[in-house]
C-alpha cells in the first residue's frame, strides 16, 4: 500500500529470518552462522550459546528445537506475541487504547510508531527489576533492571476505571488474577485479547468474558507457527450501545484477506474489520474463526465457521 506506515519492528525481522531458516530441510555452514548471528542480536548467554551449538551438531537435530530456544529468549527481549503489520493496523483502528500488563512496552512502542494513542500500564515496570517475565535468570527469577521500549506507566487493574473511553488491550495475560481483575475494573465497551487460552489468564477471567462480553471477531494469528497457537479476539460489552462502539462496527462481520507477503497488494477494504493476520512466511491459509470451544462461537454474527483446528 502506498500509505503503509514504515516502522521499526526488530522482533518481526528476526522472526522472518528464523522462519526462512526453518524452511530449509538441512542446515549448512551458512545457516549455522546466521543462527549464531541472530543469537548475538538477542544476547544469548554462554549457556544458551552452548545449547545452540549442541543442538546444531546432534545427528537427530530438529529445527523446531532451535525455534523454541529462540522463542524463549526473544519473548523476554521483546514480548510474547509478534504483532504483524495487519494486526497493528487493526489495533490502531480501535485507538485510543489502554494496554494492561504492558510488560516492557514493546507492543505500545510499535503502536505509537503507527500513530495510535495508547496508554501502557504495568504493575512491575522492567526498570524496577521485579518483573518475572522480562530479564530473568536461568531459574526464572528477576535478574536485573531492564529498559522499556517506550514509556510505561506503573499501575494495576484498578487504574482501568479511569480509561472507560478506551479499548482495553490485553496480550498474553499471565495465569493469575490480573486479567480477571482488569475485567472487573474496566468500564469501557471494547476489549481486544491476544492469547493462547491454554497458557493465559485464569478460569475467572473466561467466566466473566463469557457472561458479560460478546465475541465479535476471532482469528488465528500464526505467530510462532508450529510452536504455539495464538488468537486475536475482539469483544464488545453485552450492554454496550452502538454509540459506544467503534465507528466501523456493524452486526455482520466481513471477512477479507490481506496477503502480508505482498507489500504492493491493493485492496479497498479500509472499513473491514477482518484481515488475514498470518505472518509473511506462512504459506497455509486456514479458516479464521475460532474452534467451538468458546461459548460465543456459532451465534448469528458469525458465519463460515468451518475451523476444526484444536489447540495442542
Alpha carbon distance 246, 45 (integer Å): 45
Alpha carbon distance 99, 182 (integer Å): 10
Contact 105, 120 (CB under 8 A): yes
Tell whether the model's pLDDT for residue 268 goes beyond 70.
Answer: no
Q: CA torsion, points 23, 46, 77, 122, in degrees to nearest 10?
A: 140
Average pLDDT of the chain is 78
Q: Which of 235-249, 275-289, 293-307 has the lowest mean pLDDT?
A: 293-307
* pLDDT tens by residue, 158-205: 999 999 999 999 999 999 999 999 999 999 999 999 999 888 999 999
The alpha carbon of residue 243 and the mean position of all alpha carbons in its chain are separated, in whole angstroms, by 28
- Give me the helix-helix angle, 178-185 and 203-212, nearest 10°: 30
Mean pLDDT of the 41-69 span: 86
State which CATH number among 1.25.40.10, 3.40.50.150, 3.30.70.80, 3.40.50.1980 fits the domain covering 79-312: 3.40.50.150
In order, the DSSP letters of 134-178 are SSB-TTSSB-S----SS--EE--GGGGGG-TTSEEEEES--SSSH
Coil, strand or helix at 120:
strand
Mean pLDDT of the 139-162 span: 85
The alpha carbon of residue 207 and the mean position of all alpha carbons in its chain are separated, in whole angstroms, by 22
For residue 97, report the phi and psi dihedrals to the nearest 5 degrees.
-120, 160
- Dihedral sign from CA coordinates of 238, 243, 247, 252: positive
Cis peptide before 96 (omega within 30 of 0): yes
Q: Which of 67, 259, 102 is nearest to 174 (CA)?
A: 102
Q: What is the CA radius of gyration of the chain?
A: 20
* pLDDT tens by residue, 221-255: 988 877 789 999 999 999 876 545 554 443 343 33
Whose cell is 503503509? That residue is 4
Question: Where in the chain do CATH 3.40.50.150 domains reside?
Answer: 79-312
Amino acid at each position: 500500500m502506498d500509505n503503509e506506515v514504515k516502522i521499526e519492528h526488530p522482533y518481526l525481522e528476526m522472526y522472518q529470518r528464523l522462519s526462512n531458516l526453518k524452511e530449509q530441510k538441512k542446515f549448512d555452514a551458512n545457516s549455522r552462522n546466521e543462527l549464531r548471528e541472530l543469537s548475538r542480536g538477542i544476547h544469548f548467554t554462554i549457556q544458551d550459546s552452548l545449547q545452540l551449538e549442541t543442538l546444531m551438531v546432534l545427528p537427530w537435530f530438529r529445527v523446531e528445537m532451535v525455534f523454541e530456544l529462540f522463542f524463549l529468549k526473544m519473548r523476554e527481549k521483546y514480548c510474547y506475541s509478534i504483532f504483524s503489520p495487519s494486526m497493528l493496523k487493526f489495533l490502531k483502528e480501535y485507538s485510543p487504547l489502554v494496554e494492561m500488563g504492558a510488560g516492557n512496552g514493546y507492543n505500545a512502542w510499535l503502536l505509537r510508531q503507527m500513530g495510535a494513542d495508547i496508554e501502557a500500564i504495568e504493575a512491575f515496570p522492567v526498570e524496577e527489576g521485579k518483573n518475572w517475565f522480562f530479564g530473568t535468570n536461568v531459574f526464572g527469577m528477576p535478574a536485573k533492571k531492564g529498559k522499556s521500549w517506550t514509556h510505561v506507566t506503573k499501575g494495576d487493574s484498578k487504574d482501568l476505571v479511569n480509561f472507560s473511553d478506551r479499548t482495553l488491550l490485553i496480550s498474553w495475560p499471565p495465569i493469575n488474577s490480573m486479567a480477571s481483575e482488569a475485567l472487573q475494573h474496566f468500564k469501557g465497551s471494547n476489549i481486544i485479547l491476544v492469547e493462547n487460552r491454554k497458557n493465559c489468564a485464569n478460569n475467572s477471567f473466561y467466566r466473566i468474558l463469557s457472561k458479560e462480553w460478546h465475541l465479535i471477531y476471532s482469528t488465528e494469528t500464526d505467530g510462532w507457527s508450529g510452536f504455539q497457537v495464538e488468537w486475536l479476539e475482539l469483544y464488545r460489552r453485552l450492554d454496550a450501545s452502538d454509540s459506544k462502539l467503534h465507528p466501523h462496527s456493524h452486526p455482520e462481520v466481513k471477512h477479507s484477506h490481506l496477503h502480508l507477503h505482498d507489500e504492493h497488494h491493493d485492496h479497498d477494504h479500509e472499513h473491514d474489520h477482518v484481515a488475514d493476520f498470518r505472518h509473511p512466511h506462512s504459506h497455509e491459509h486456514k479458516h479464521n474463526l475460532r474452534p467451538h470451544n468458546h461459548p460465543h462461537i456459532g451465534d448469528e454474527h458469525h458465519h463460515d465457521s468451518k475451523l476444526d483446528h484444536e489447540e495442542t
